[in-house]
């Protein structure tokens, strides 16, 4: 059995499952009317269409919300809705989700229907206020739901338990796209099949929101990448240009590490409206100007992030004996601290909360891993915080600045009470297969592995384990010698190069040592030469 077939077998991709996975069928999509309240939403929107009501799409400032907003704006325009606006909340003004103030401002514009994307499932008070003002609300969302749904016309959310839709892990943009498919059964203007041109947006939001890339998500991203490669949307074509992403080589990694950070940067620093404007741009030169502005935001974000991270490291050293890190300071932009929390987690292998102190109030984000829930720890601190919540691995919190130290004590008490063991081992990647011959890692194999794209949550890039390798050469690179290149030899005498950027200290081995590694095969292209290399993920000494 070839190495590629071994990897497929290790993932259970054999027989019919193999073919379905390698060749996702867009036409196998699920019936949108199996989603809860979809029929109610369609009826209300058909009436709004017939009466040409003023509609507001209420988005979110992350990429999932921005792409979902654009999907609905473009499709509603095609369907012939005449008066449709978008409202993108500002992280520093409204914060996440629906707010009463925003609802009141929308009502004042004469809008009689709000359609949320990527938010709204827990917005009971805000939806009640809308109703008082004569504004109906349709919720499209994919976040956690309440036991009792808010009083909206419809709450379309696959996380609800009262439906028979077969796939619950759609991104927010995926749910919005299902609404478009449902509307195609009742309205003209977007012919069956033409909705596929929206899949570039669906792919971008789905990958960047880190939902599982299986089932309908996999098909949407698989075909969305093909739409992206055609470069029909001026904004995304321009963004790929400034991010140095070649359209014909675009993949999920390009979205997550190239396009995504640039789009998120505007909302982290000022307003995500800039990113929505880029997505909506129709003139190529205007699109390029907007993409360049996002690129500038991203560079500023990285500088700010690096500064915060260095300061956070100094604080983290004071608390490195605690199982959970909580660090804070004035001037740490709370739109960026979530990224810093992720970097602290990577450095210290500890759940991390990073907060911006804003006078008497502090706001920030947490990142966790393994079996420690960042959100549950926040809920265990209800008496100390103003508000907070999220998911197991990522959460947000607002609290009085005076309560930061008690909060630090509480989350650490919560961690100890869980009696968790061997958590760091959960950070070690899991190998698909073990190899003995580095000579099996060829350009042909890497081409075969590319057929497993799109990679992401639920379908990670294949990881290989190689044992009993001899270190032939070690090379440090970078301004601070922080990057590493290893020349490794197997017992058959085959050599291969391995790279680790910002490598942890224990990666810096000496020539002649025997090691075991986990890695991902890659192609390095430099000055017209293509060589097979490995992206080093984990290293163990003999």
Task: Let me know whether 156 and 115 are in one domain.
Answer: yes
* Residue 444 located in a structural domain: yes
Instruction: Give the tokens for residue 278.
Output: 């880029």
CATH number of the structural domain spanning residue 525: 2.40.50.460
* Distance between CA atoms of residues 80 and 538, nearest Å: 54
> Phi and psi (nearest 5°) for 325?
-95, 135
The mean pLDDT of 327-347, rounded to a whole number, is 94
The mean pLDDT of 30-50, rounded to a whole number, is 98
pLDDT band at 399 (very low <50, low <70, confident <90, very high): very high
Percent of the chain with pLDDT over 90: 87
pLDDT band at 529 (very low <50, low <70, confident <90, very high): confident
Give residue 338's pLDDT: 93
Quick: pLDDT tens for 2-23: 999 999 999 999 999 999 999 9
Task: Let me know whether 422 and 437 are in one domain.
Answer: no
Which of 376, 406, 426 lies at the terminal end of a domain, its last residue?
426
Give residue 218's pLDDT: 96
* Residue 376 located in a structural domain: yes
Which candidate, 149, 207, 173, 212, places its Cα nearest to that of 72? 173
The mean pLDDT of 337-352, rounded to a whole number, is 95
The mean pLDDT of 503-532, rounded to a whole number, is 91
Token look-up 């995500």 returns 272
* Residue 3 located in a structural domain: no
pLDDT band at 305 (very low <50, low <70, confident <90, very high): very high
Region of residue 402 (left: phi > 0; alpha: psi -120 to 50; beta: else):
alpha
Give residue 273's pLDDT: 96
* Residue 238 located in a structural domain: no
Task: Let me know whether 388 and 506 are in one domain.
Answer: no
Task: Let me know whether 448 and 406 are in one domain.
Answer: no
The half-sphere exposure of 282 on its side-chain side, counting CA atoms within 13 A, is 2
Task: Let me know whether 377 and 515 are in one domain.
Answer: no
Q: Cβ(238)–Cβ(39) under 8 Å?
A: no
* Residue 18 located in a structural domain: no
SS3 373: coil
Task: Let me know whether 37 and 165 are in one domain.
Answer: yes
Give residue 303's pLDDT: 95
The answer, yes or no, to whether the previous bond of 454 is cis (omega within 30 of 0) is: yes
CATH number of the structural domain spanning residue 106: 3.90.1640.30
Task: Let me know whether 416 and 474 are in one domain.
Answer: no
Give residue 207's pLDDT: 95
pLDDT band at 542 (very low <50, low <70, confident <90, very high): confident
Quick: pLDDT tens for 144-198: 888 899 999 999 999 999 999 999 999 999 999 999 999 999 999 999 999 999 9
Residue 175 to residues 37, 136, 172, 233, 276: CA-CA distances in angstroms? 12, 19, 5, 21, 18
Which of 142, 162, 192 lies at the terminal end of a domain, its last residue?
192
Instruction: Give the tokens for residue 24.
Output: 């996702």
* Residue 116 located in a structural domain: yes
Task: Let me know whether 42 and 169 are in one domain.
Answer: yes
Q: Taking all residues of the chain, what is their mean pLDDT, rounded to a whole number? A: 94
* Residue 374 located in a structural domain: yes
The DSSP code for 347 is H
Q: Domain limits at 330?
A: 319-426
Question: What number of other Cβ atoms are within 10 A of residue 433's Cβ?
Answer: 15
The mean pLDDT of 464-489, rounded to a whole number, is 93
- Please count the structural domains in the chain: 3
Region of residue 211 (left: phi > 0; alpha: psi -120 to 50; beta: else):
beta
Task: Let me know whether 461 and 369 are in one domain.
Answer: no
Task: Let me know whether 514 and 400 are in one domain.
Answer: no
Which of 426, 450, 474 lies at the terminal end of a domain, its last residue?
426
Quick: pLDDT tens for 114-155: 999 999 998 999 999 999 999 999 999 998 888 899 999 999
Give residue 153's pLDDT: 98
SS3 14: coil
Percent of the chain with pLDDT over 70: 100
Task: Let me know whether 483 and 385 are in one domain.
Answer: no
Task: Let me know whether 47 and 147 are in one domain.
Answer: yes
The half-sphere exposure of 45 on its side-chain side, counting CA atoms within 13 A, is 31
CATH number of the structural domain spanning residue 377: 3.10.310.30
Q: Which are the contacts of 471, defined by CB distance < 8 A and separation ≥ 6? A: 486, 487, 488, 509, 510, 511, 512, 513, 514, 515
pTM across the whole model: 0.90
SS3 258: helix
pLDDT band at 421 (very low <50, low <70, confident <90, very high): confident
């Amino acid at each position: 059995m070839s190495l590629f077939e071994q990897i497929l077998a290790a993932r259970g991709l054999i027989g019919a499952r193999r073919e379905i996975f390698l060749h996702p069928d867009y036409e196998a999509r699920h019936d949108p009317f199996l989603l809860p309240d979809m029929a109610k939403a369609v009826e209300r929107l058909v009436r709004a269409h017939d009466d040409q009501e003023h509609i507001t799409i209420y988005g979110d400032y992350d990429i999932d919300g921005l792409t979902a907003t654009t999907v609905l704006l473009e499709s509603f325009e095609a369907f012939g809705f005449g008066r449709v606006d978008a409202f993108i909340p500002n992280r520093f003004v409204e914060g996440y989700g629906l707010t009463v103030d925003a609802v009141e401002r929308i009502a004042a514009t004469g809008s009689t229907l709000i359609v949320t994307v990527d938010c709204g499932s827990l917005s009971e008070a805000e939806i009640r206020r809308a109703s008082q003002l004569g504004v109906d609300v349709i919720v499209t969302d994919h976040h956690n739901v309440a036991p009792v749904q808010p009083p909206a016309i419809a709450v379309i959310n696959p996380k609800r338990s009262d439906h028979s839709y077969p796939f619950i892990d759609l991104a927010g943009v995926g749910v919005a796209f299902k609404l478009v498919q449902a509307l195609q059964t009742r309205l003209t203007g977007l012919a069956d099949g033409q909705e596929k041109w929206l899949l570039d947006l669906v792919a971008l939001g789905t990958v960047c929101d880190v939902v599982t890339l299986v089932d309908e998500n996999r098909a949407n991203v698989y075909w969305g990448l093909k739409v992206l490669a055609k470069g029909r949307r001026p904004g995304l074509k321009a963004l790929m240009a400034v991010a140095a992403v070649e359209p014909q080589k675009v993949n999920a990694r390009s979205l997550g590490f190239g396009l995504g950070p640039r789009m998120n940067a505007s909302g982290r620093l000022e307003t995500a409206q800039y990113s929505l404007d880029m997505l909506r741009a129709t003139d190529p030169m205007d699109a390029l100007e907007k993409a360049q502005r996002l690129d500038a935001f991203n560079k500023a974000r990285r500088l700010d992030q690096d500064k915060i991270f260095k300061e956070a490291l100094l604080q983290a050293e004071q608390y490195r004996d605690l199982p959970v890190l909580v660090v804070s300071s004035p001037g740490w932009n709370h739109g960026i601290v979530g990224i810093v929390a992720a970097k602290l987690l990577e450095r210290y292998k500890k759940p991390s909360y990073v907060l911006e102190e804003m006078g008497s109030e502090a706001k920030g984000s947490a990142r966790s891993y393994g079996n420690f829930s960042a959100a549950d720890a926040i809920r265990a601190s209800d008496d100390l915080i103003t508000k907070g919540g999220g998911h197991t691995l990522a959460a947000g919190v607002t609290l009085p600045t005076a309560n930061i130290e008690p909060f630090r004590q509480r989350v650490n008490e919560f961690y100890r009470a869980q009696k968790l063991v061997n958590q760091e081992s959960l950070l070690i990647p899991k190998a698909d297969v073990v190899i003995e011959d580095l000579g099996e890692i060829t350009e042909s194999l890497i081409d075969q592995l590319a057929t497993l794209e799109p990679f992401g949550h639920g379908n990670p890039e294949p990881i290989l384990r190689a044992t009993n390798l001899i270190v032939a050469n070690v090379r440090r690179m970078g301004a601070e010698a922080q990057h590493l290149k290893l020349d490794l030899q197997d017992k058959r005498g085959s050599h291969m190069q391995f790279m680790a950027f910002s490598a942890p200290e224990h990666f810096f081995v000496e020539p002649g040592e025997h090691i075991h590694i986990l890695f991902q095969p890659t192609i390095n292209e430099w000055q017209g030469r293509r060589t097979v290399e490995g992206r080093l993920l984990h290293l163990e000494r003999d």
